[in-house]
């Protein structure tokens, strides 16, 4: 089964959500992608349907937008 992917950036909302996701499902059970540091995965996130971060893309492809930290347009800058 494919791991869920958690996309985030360095803002406080994203970091808080990252900690919650890791505490809930465990770091070994999710692919953590910091889009501020790993910009080559921005297109992947957008193709998955991510509109803002933090967001969790589940193993079956559903996008769960968690609160609001930054839009994808802000991440691309």
- Split into its structural domains, the chain has a count of 1
At 37, which CATH number?
A: 3.40.30.10
To which residue do tokens 């953590």 refer? 32
Is residue 71 domain-resident?
A: no
The pLDDT score that the predictor gives to residue 12 is: 85
- Alpha-carbon span 40 to 53, nearest angstrom: 16
Is residue 7 domain-resident?
A: yes
- Show the domain range for 22: 1-52
Single pTM value for the model: 0.91
Hey, is 68 helix, strand or coil?
Answer: strand
Is residue 36 domain-resident?
A: yes
Is residue 31 domain-resident?
A: yes
The pLDDT score that the predictor gives to residue 1 is: 63
Q: What is the pLDDT along the chain (77 residues), one digit of tens a residue?
A: 689 999 999 888 888 999 999 999 999 999 999 998 999 999 999 999 999 999 999 999 999 999 887 899 888 87
Is residue 14 domain-resident?
A: yes
Is residue 64 domain-resident?
A: no
- Alpha-carbon span 5 to 59, nearest angstrom: 8
């Amino acid at each position: 089964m494919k791991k869920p992917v958690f996309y985030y950036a360095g803002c406080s909302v994203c970091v808080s959500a990252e900690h919650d996701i890791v505490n809930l499902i465990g770091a070994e059970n999710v692919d953590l992608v910091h889009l501020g540091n790993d910009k080559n995965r921005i297109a992947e996130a957008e193709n998955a349907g991510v509109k803002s971060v933090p967001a969790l893309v589940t193993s079956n492809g559903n996008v769960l937008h968690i609160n609001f930290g930054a839009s994808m347009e802000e991440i691309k800058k």
